Amino acid sequence: MLSKYHISYKTRIQVAIVAAVIFTLLIIASITYLSISYQYRSQQVEAILKRVNQIADVIEQQMLQNDKFEYNEQILKAFSSINAIDLNLFSPNGDLLVTTQSKIDNNGLFADKIDAMAYIYLNKYQRSEYVNKEQIGSKEYLSVYRPIRNDRNQILAYLNLLHFSYERDYDNRIGQFLNVLLNVYALVFVSVGFFAVFIANKITYPLKMLQKSLGDIKIGRKNEPILWDRDDEIGRLIKEYNKMIVSLEDGAQKFARSERETAWKEMAKQVAHEIKNPLTPLKLGIQMLEKSWKEKDANFDQKFERFSRLFIEQIESLSNIASEFSNFAKMPDTTLENVNILEIIEQSIDGFRSKNRVAITLKDDANSNHLVKADKNQLLRLLNNLINNAIEAIPDFREGKIDIVVEQKSGAIQVVVGDNGKGISEDQKQRIFNPNFTTKSSGTGLGLAFVRQATENMAGTVRFETEINRGTTFYITIPLADI
Q: Residue ranges of the alpha helices (H) in 126-232?
A: 166-215
The span from the CA of 62 to the CA of 156, in Å, is 14
- Tell me 124's DSSP state: I
The span from the CA of 370 to the CA of 343, in Å, is 9
- In the Cβ-directed half-sphere of 374, how many Cα atoms lie within 13 Å? 31
Report the topology of domain 337-479.
Answer: Heat Shock Protein 90 (3.30.565)
Between 426 and 233, residue with greater pLDDT: 426
pLDDT at 413 > cutoff 80:
yes
Question: pLDDT tens digits for 442-477?
Answer: 444 456 777 888 888 888 999 999 899 889 999 999
Least confident of 14-28, 223-237, 284-298, 332-346: 223-237
Q: What average pLDDT does the segment 414-431 reach?
A: 85
**Neighbouring-strand partners of residue 413:** 408, 478
The span from the CA of 473 to the CA of 415, in Å, is 10
pLDDT of residue 419: 92
pLDDT of residue 166: 61
Question: pLDDT tens digits for 248-288?
Answer: 777 777 776 776 667 666 666 666 666 666 676 677 777 87
pLDDT of residue 404: 92
Q: What average pLDDT does the segment 375-398 reach?
A: 86
The overall average pLDDT reported for the chain is 76
Tell me the pTM.
0.40
pLDDT at 417 > cutoff 90:
yes
Beta strands in 37-103 (DSSP E): 64-65, 68-69, 86-90, 96-99
Least confident of 93-107, 346-360, 397-411, 450-464: 93-107
pLDDT of residue 473: 92
pLDDT of residue 1: 41
Beta strands in 274-317 (DSSP E): none
Question: What class, spelled out in words, does domain 233-329 have in CATH?
Answer: mainly alpha
Q: What average pLDDT does the segment 187-194 reach?
A: 77
pLDDT of residue 416: 93
pLDDT at 400 > cutoff 80:
yes
Between 214 and 5, residue with greater pLDDT: 214
Least confident of 162-166, 275-279, 335-339, 342-346: 275-279
Q: What average pLDDT does the segment 429-441 reach?
A: 59
Q: For the domain with range 9-172, which CATH number is right: 3.40.50.720, 3.30.750.24, 3.30.450.20, 3.40.50.300?
A: 3.30.450.20
Band (pLDDT 50/70/90 cuts) for residue 415 is: very high
Distance set, CA 445 to CA 120, 213, 304, 321 (Å): 116, 40, 34, 11
The span from the CA of 79 to the CA of 73, in Å, is 10
pLDDT of residue 272: 67
User: What does DSSP say about strands 86-90 and 155-163: parallel, antiparallel, or unpaired?
Assistant: antiparallel
Give, to the nearest 10 degrees, the angle between helix 73-83 and helix 9-63.
150
pLDDT of residue 477: 92
Question: pLDDT tens digits for 34-66?
Answer: 888 888 778 777 877 888 787 777 777 777 665
Residue range(s) in the chain whose domain bears CATH number 3.30.450.20: 9-172
pLDDT of residue 442: 43
Residue range(s) in the chain whose domain bears CATH number 3.30.565.10: 337-479
Residue range(s) in the chain whose domain bears CATH number 1.10.287: 233-329
pLDDT of residue 22: 77
Question: pLDDT tens digits for 206-248?
Answer: 767 666 766 666 665 666 676 766 666 667 777 777 777 777 7
Question: pLDDT tens digits for 141-176?
Answer: 788 888 888 777 788 888 888 876 666 776 777 778
67 with 151: CB under 8 angstroms? yes
